[in-house]
Structure 1
Amino acid sequence: MKFNPGQLVVTRGVNDLISDNEEFAKHVFLSLKRHLAGDWGDLCDEDRVTNELALQQGERLFSVYKKEGVPTIWVITEWDRSVTTVLFPEEY
């Protein structure tokens, strides 16, 4: 892990789909592993650089993960590393 994620939480929508869809549950698990390793997923180069600076300066971290056949998810770690949230873009 590149940083402490704090408390790991998922929104109600993500939780409901995890319960109903094993493929989506795997996508969430693997995406969290990637986020914690500093693999920011499907971000543009500029946003990747922003995340790398945020790691050093204690700012919010943001990742996007897309996979064919399941909904896109966002993973956000707060600036103080107290909480990491998995959510759908429309839940932001």
Structure 2
Amino acid sequence: MPIYEYQCKACGHQMEALQRMSDAPLTDCPECNKAELSKKISAAGFRLKGGGWYETDFKTGSKKNLAGDAAKPAGKSGSSEAKAS
């Protein structure tokens, strides 16, 4: 779910809200209780919640990090991939 940023036009309070894309925008400010919240234009953030998300899910070819790669030192694994490409 995306994280949206809001700002109150009345008191200037800024906040973030975790909402579905289909949810209506928030209007009531939690600080001053006025219906003056407006959604800010920003890069929408999101979080991957729950089990089942792995770093290899969206990688292809030699870019996948497998369980056996964890034993290798971090400095050497990146340089060997760069030479192979």
Between the two structures, name the one with larger relative contact order (CA 8 Å, sep ≥ 6).
1
Choose 1 or 2 for highest CA Rg.
2
How high is the TM-score relative to the length of structure 2? Answer: 0.26
How high is the TM-score relative to the length of structure 1? Answer: 0.25
More strand by share: 1
More helix by share: 1
